[in-house]
Amino acid sequence: MNQRLIVIAGFMASGKTTVARALGNLLGCEALDLDESIARAEQRSPQEIIEQEGEDKFRQIETVALSELLKKDAAGVVALGGGTWTIPANRKLLAEHSAITIWLDAPFELCWRRIEAAGHGRPLAPTSESARQRFQERLGVYALADHRIEINVNDSAEEIAKTIAALISRRSGNN
Ligand code: S3P
């Protein structure tokens, strides 16, 4: 198994958390979710932090949480929040820890359908128009990830995890 941290990035509702879990199961390692770490540390959800204190404050908290998580230096899988990878300081932290970054490149329509179905948990995607604009703005930054995985509507988390595992195995010369 690869000993480097594998990091899953991508837009809101691209499937980061479920894919990270499936990949952790497949590789037999721990899968963490940055938003969950933040919620545990802050005793409130990212949504509440953004609504109560704004996005800038949330980004500060998020960078501290990422840094703490990386300090533990446990090999495994981490699902980022949708905006984590867009912040240069976070990309620097991940590079310093030699993390392998995977971008789940899901079409906007798929993400939006899931965002809508999940209800009102995402203050940074209040309407389809603003979410689409944010999506477009972020594409170029997500593309800085080490690997891009194209996500189709029918792909299961297990299938996506297998694709990632094969990619990483090839990359480390294991086959
Ligand atoms: C955000 C995405 C959310 C959460 C916060 C900000 C973003 O995570 O971190 O609401 O900026 O895209 P998900 O990608 O899991 O929705």
- CA 151 to centroid of ligand 1, rounded, Å: 18
Whole-angstrom Cα distance, residue 156 to residue 168?
A: 19
Q: Percent of the chain, pLDDT > 70?
A: 96
Whole-angstrom Cα distance, residue 76 to residue 99?
A: 10
- Entry pTM: 0.95
Whole-angstrom Cα distance, residue 85 to residue 145?
A: 8
Ligand 1 atom with least separation from CA of 35 = 9
Q: Residues 16-29: pLDDT tens digits?
A: 999 999 999 999 99
Cβ 40 vs Cβ 139: under 8 Å: no
pLDDT at position 170 is: 84
Long-range contacts of 112-116 (CB under 8 A, 24+ apart): 112/13, 114/13, 115/12, 115/13
Residue bearing the CA closest to ligand 1, atom 15:
81
Residue bearing the CA closest to ligand 1, atom 11:
83
Q: Is the CB of residue 81 below 6 angstroms from any atom belonging to ligand 1?
A: yes
Whole-angstrom Cα distance, residue 8 to residue 35?
A: 12
Q: Is the CB of residue 35 below 6 angstroms from any atom belonging to ligand 1?
A: yes
**What DSSP element (H or E) covers 164?**
helix 157-171
Whole-angstrom Cα distance, residue 93 to residue 27?
A: 24
Q: Residues 28-58: pLDDT tens digits?
A: 999 999 999 999 999 999 999 999 999 999 9
13: tokens are 């509702």
Q: Which range (21-30, 59-68, 114-123, 153-162) has the least confidence?
A: 114-123
Torsion of CA 54, 136, 117, 85, to 10 degrees: -60
Mean pLDDT of the 121-127 span = 93
What is the per-residue DSSP string for 85-150?
GGSHHHHHHHHHTT-EEEEEE--HHHHHHHHHHH-S--TT--SHHHHHHHHHHHHHHHTTSSEEEE
Ligand 1 atom with least separation from CA of 38 = 9
Residue bearing the CA closest to ligand 1, atom 1:
82
Residue bearing the CA closest to ligand 1, atom 8:
81
166: tokens are 């094969």
pLDDT bin (cut points 50, 70, 90) of residue 1 is: very low
